[in-house]
């Protein structure tokens, strides 16, 4: 897809260990169009955060991208050097982490942190950057931003700090924002506000979003498309309505079946019988087969690639067209 | 902030009174002050008169109050050994010790912090491993051995630095400084390194472990994700967050540097308070010992107090806590 903001091709992330390489992200491919919101869901350990970290080039040793490609607006970025990649981070790709409460440096005024970020990416004066920071904070819903810009992080509540974090992630106007469970650490009562804010800020700027979350309610309200991950792979990806209403992959069905109503906002992905395999013991064939009620011969030996399933794509042998089955 | 300062001052007062009590007990009950002051052949009447003059027959609490009152006015009595006011002895000796201690602390900080930062950032480089090995030596060798080794290498073998004494000094008011003459500076080098090596090691290891800790935090990850330059992340965001514990330790160590100067001063015959103390112990010169004890305690307390104030400047969260307290 040439017009994608982000294009990830066959991405693999591995951890070198004494017993060989553990593959934590295994052949993940997806695209995000400009302004599009892609939701990423899956149980804990599915590889969601690692995929995000790989895109922005922040995988920590001993982990590393072992193969695949990451393209940003037509430019390959996974091969960039450290300094070139630094310029991409913040400026082209922003990121918000799991815990907004600890994302801000406690010793610096929030304004200084924003100004510092703006000036790391744009050749503007301190005063210009400061004015921009004030405007941005205001937009992010900080009342009296001009007065509060010189406050320290601990002087804000959790929800307010998350607004500051969003302002920081967006202050250099990236084309893509990776939000890794941006509300998990927050009070339930303010989660919806923050998601609404994220949605509004990104829509106004045309910023595409990769939204990692456990909350199906958030996906339903926010995402255009959704990718479901299991054991390091995308098992289903498609338009959000299609996937939520009419899940194809047995794993996605399990996830959806576990949610009574989206409006009920119970949110959390509830257990499907069994547990996701450890990295060192990923089953042969379809990694989901030990937990799948529909598994058949082929699932035990052959690994399914993604194939069309309705308006979505699923990596499941149930959707193999007869003609594609080789003897 | 005011309440905090007052509370701290009060705590300092309690500490000082406790030390004063110890010094007083030492002064009053270890040996008999009168027989220390007079000759063998002094008559009993003379002794009794002296005893009365000194107030040694007054109730103990009055004696203690007098002792404290005198100490506050820097009056520690007369040295038994050299028959001079203790205060004058200290005034002569203190500049040497303070200059040595500050030079040692400067050496420890100026080398320890960069080495700590480097080894924290480049965990696996060979230079880091070299630094850590060297610092292990600094921790495990006793001070006097390091002093003797340095004397052997630089004074005896290479013959580039003096092995004892303070060199030439220049008076500035009552303060005789060795920092303004070439020979004084040269004489300072080996003792300062000897005294500061252990602290440097401590600072290196502390900064390193704090850096490792801080570099794992979310706000450092977020700083990276915002595309800040490495230099800003390492020195602006990470190092500054390690400073609170580092300053505490350095501050407290400055106290121990002054206390441990005894050994270094002995090895290098450095004419400071430590050497004075050793000589006082050898001659059971109780007033000098008591004064030294009080003075070192006072420096400890003073440094602690300053460290607390610096904290508050570095970490805004403490400001809030304190305001609430
Ligand atoms: N440093 C590491 N060493 C070894 N394995 C790791 C390391 N970091 C992550 N992993 C493994 O990689 C896999 C994917 O981790 P990742 O953090 O991407 O999961 P996630 O989908 O984000 O889960 P969560 O919902 O809990 O955040 C997990 O099995 C995890 O155990
Ligand atoms: S491939 Fe087989 S085991 Fe895997 S999800 Fe589909 S049916 Fe289940
Ligand atoms: Mg995660």
CATH of the domain at B238: 1.10.3720.10
Q: Is residue B63 part of a domain?
A: yes
Residue B227 is nearest to which of A86, A107, A155, comparing CB atoms? A86
User: In terms of domains, do B50 and B90 share one?
Assistant: no
User: In terms of domains, do B62 and B93 share one?
Assistant: no
Query: Is the predicted ipTM greater than 0.95, yes or no?
Result: no
Can you read off the two tokens belonging to residue B164? 């004892």
User: In terms of domains, do B174 and B39 share one?
Assistant: no
Closest CA relative to residue B91, chosen from B272, B318, B267:
B272
**Among candidate residues B72, B101, B130, the one where a domain is terminated:** B72
Q: Respond yes or no on whether the N-terminal peptide bond of residue A62 is cis (omega within 30° of 0).
A: yes
Distance from C-alpha of A279 to C-alpha of A291, rounded to nearest angstrom:
16
Share of chain B above pLDDT 90, in %: 13
CB of A250 shorter than 6 A to ligand 2: yes
Residues A169, B226: C-beta atoms closer than 8 Å: yes
Q: State pLDDT tens for residues B141-173.
A: 888 888 888 888 888 888 888 888 887 878 887
Question: In this structure, what are the phi and psi dihedrals at residue A234, rounded to the nearest 5 degrees?
Answer: -85, 115
Structural contact between residues A158 and A190, judged by C-beta atoms closer than 8 angstroms: yes
Domain(s) labelled CATH 3.40.50.300 in chain A stretch across 6-92+174-326
User: In terms of domains, do B206 and B257 share one?
Assistant: yes
State residue A187's pLDDT score. Answer: 81
Q: State pLDDT tens for residues B231-247.
A: 899 988 898 888 878 88
Residue B221 is nearest to which of A97, A152, A154, comparing CB atoms? A97
User: In terms of domains, do B54 and B129 share one?
Assistant: no
Q: Please give the average per-residue pLDDT across B83-101, as a whole number.
A: 88
User: In terms of domains, do B186 and B215 share one?
Assistant: yes
User: In terms of domains, do B137 and B223 share one?
Assistant: yes
User: In terms of domains, do B32 and B133 share one?
Assistant: no
Can you read off the two tokens belonging to residue B214? 């801080």
CB of A295 shorter than 6 A to ligand 2: yes
- pLDDT score of A294 more than 90: no
Size of interface A-B (CB pairs under 8 A): 79
Q: State pLDDT tens for residues B258-279.
A: 888 888 998 888 888 888 998 8
CA nearest ligand 2 atom 7, residue: A295
- pLDDT score of A193 more than 70: yes
Distance from C-alpha of B105 to C-alpha of B54, rounded to nearest angstrom:
41
User: In terms of domains, do B120 and B26 share one?
Assistant: no
**Among candidate residues B47, B72, B97, the one where a domain is terminated:** B72
**Among candidate residues B16, B48, B72, the one where a domain is terminated:** B72
Can you read off the two tokens belonging to residue B93? 């000796």
**Count: domains in chain B:** 2
User: In terms of domains, do B99 and B61 share one?
Assistant: no
- pLDDT score of A262 more than 50: no
Q: How confident is the model at residue A263 (pLDDT cuts 50, 70, 90)?
A: very low
Distance from C-alpha of B32 to C-alpha of B147, rounded to nearest angstrom:
38
Contacts of B311 (CB under 8 A, 6+ apart): B244, B247, B248, B318
Q: Is residue B79 part of a domain?
A: no
Residues B217, A94: C-beta atoms closer than 8 Å: no
Closest CA relative to residue A92, chosen from B222, B225, B231:
B225
Distance from C-alpha of B272 to C-alpha of B90, rounded to nearest angstrom:
9
User: In terms of domains, do B55 and B154 share one?
Assistant: no
CB of A45 shorter than 6 A to ligand 1: yes
Find chain A residues with C-beta within 8 A of B315's C-beta.
106-107
Residue B62: which domain range?
2-72
Query: What homologous superfamily is domain A6-92+174-326 in, according to CATH?
Result: P-loop containing nucleotide triphosphate hydrolases (3.40.50.300)
User: In terms of domains, do B237 and B93 share one?
Assistant: yes
**Ligand 2: distance of its center to the CA of A56 in Å?**
32
Q: Is residue B196 part of a domain?
A: yes
């Amino acid at each position: 897809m040439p017009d994608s903001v982000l294009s990830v091709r066959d991405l693999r992330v591995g951890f070198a260990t004494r017993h060989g390489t553990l593959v934590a992200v295994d052949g993940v491919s997806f695209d995000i169009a400009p302004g599009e919101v892609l939701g990423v869901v899956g149980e804990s350990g599915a590889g969601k955060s690692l995929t995000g970290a790989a895109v922005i080039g922040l995988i920590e040793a001993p982990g590393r991208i072992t193969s695949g490609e990451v393209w940003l607006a037509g430019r390959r970025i996974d091969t960039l050097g450290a300094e070139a990649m630094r310029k991409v981070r913040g400026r082209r790709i922003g990121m918000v982490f799991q815990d907004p409460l600890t994302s801000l440096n406690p010793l610096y005024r929030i304004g200084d942190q924003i100004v510092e970020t703006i000036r790391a990416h744009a050749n503007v004066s301190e005063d210009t950057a400061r004015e921009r920071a004030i405007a941005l904070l205001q937009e992010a819903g900080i009342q009296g931003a001009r007065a509060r810009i010189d406050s320290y992080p601990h002087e804000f509540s959790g929800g307010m700090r998350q607004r500051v974090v969003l302002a920081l992630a967006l202050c250099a106007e990236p084309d893509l924002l990776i939000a890794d469970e941006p509300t998990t650490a927050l009070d339930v009562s303010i989660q919806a506000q923050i998601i609404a804010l994220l949605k509004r800020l990104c829509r106004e700027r045309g910023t595409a979003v990769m939204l990692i979350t456990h909350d199906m309610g958030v996906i339903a309200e926010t995402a255009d498309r959704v990718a479901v991950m299991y054991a390091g792979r995308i098992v289903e990806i498609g338009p959000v309505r299609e996937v939520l209403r009419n899940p194809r992959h047995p794993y996605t069905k399990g996830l959806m079946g576990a949610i009574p109503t989206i409006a009920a906002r119970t949110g959390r992905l509830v257990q499907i019988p069994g547990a996701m395999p450890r990295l060192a013991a990923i089953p042969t064939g379809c990694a989901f087969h030990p937990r799948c009620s529909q598994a058949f011969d082929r699932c035990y030996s052959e690994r399914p690639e993604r194939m069309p399933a309705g308006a979505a794509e699923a990596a499941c042998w149930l959707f193999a067209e007869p003609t594609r089955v080789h003897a | 902030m005011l309440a905090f300062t007052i509370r701290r001052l009060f705590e300092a007062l309690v500490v000082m009174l406790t030390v004063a009590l110890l010094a007083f007990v030492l002064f009053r009950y270890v040996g008999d002050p009168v027989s220390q002051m007079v000759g063998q052949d002094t008559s009993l009447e003379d002794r009794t008169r002296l005893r009365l003059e000194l107030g040694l027959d007054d109730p103990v609490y009055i004696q203690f109050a007098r002792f404290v009152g005198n100490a506050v006015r820097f009056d520690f009595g007369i040295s038994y050994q050299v028959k001079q006011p203790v205060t004058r002895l200290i005034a002569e000796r203190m500049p040497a010790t303070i200059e040595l201690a500050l030079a040692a602390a400067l050496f420890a900080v100026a080398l320890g912090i960069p080495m700590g930062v480097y080894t924290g950032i480049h965990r696996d480089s060979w230079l880091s491993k070299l630094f850590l090995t060297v610092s292990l030596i600094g921790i495990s060798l006793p001070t006097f051995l390091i002093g003797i080794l340095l004397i052997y290498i630089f004074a005896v073998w290479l013959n580039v630095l003096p092995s004892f004494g303070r060199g030439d000094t220049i008076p500035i008011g009552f303060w005789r400084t060795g920092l303004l003459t070439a020979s004084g500076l040269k004489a300072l080098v080996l003792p300062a390194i000897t005294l500061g090596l252990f602290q440097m090691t401590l600072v290196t290891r502390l900064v390193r472990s704090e850096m490792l800790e801080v570099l794992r935090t979310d706000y450092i990850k977020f700083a990276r994700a915002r595309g800040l330059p490495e230099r800003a992340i390492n020195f602006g965001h990470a190092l500054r967050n390690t400073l609170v514990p580092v300053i505490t330790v350095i501050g407290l160590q400055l106290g121990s540097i002054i206390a441990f100067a005894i050994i270094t001063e002995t090895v290098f015959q450095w004419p400071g308070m430590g050497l004075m103390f050793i000589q006082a112990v050898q001659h059971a010169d109780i007033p000098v010992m008591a004064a030294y004890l009080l003075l070192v305690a006072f420096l400890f307390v003073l440094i602690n107090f300053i460290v607390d104030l610096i904290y508050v400047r570095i970490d805004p969260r403490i400001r809030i806590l304190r305001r609430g307290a």
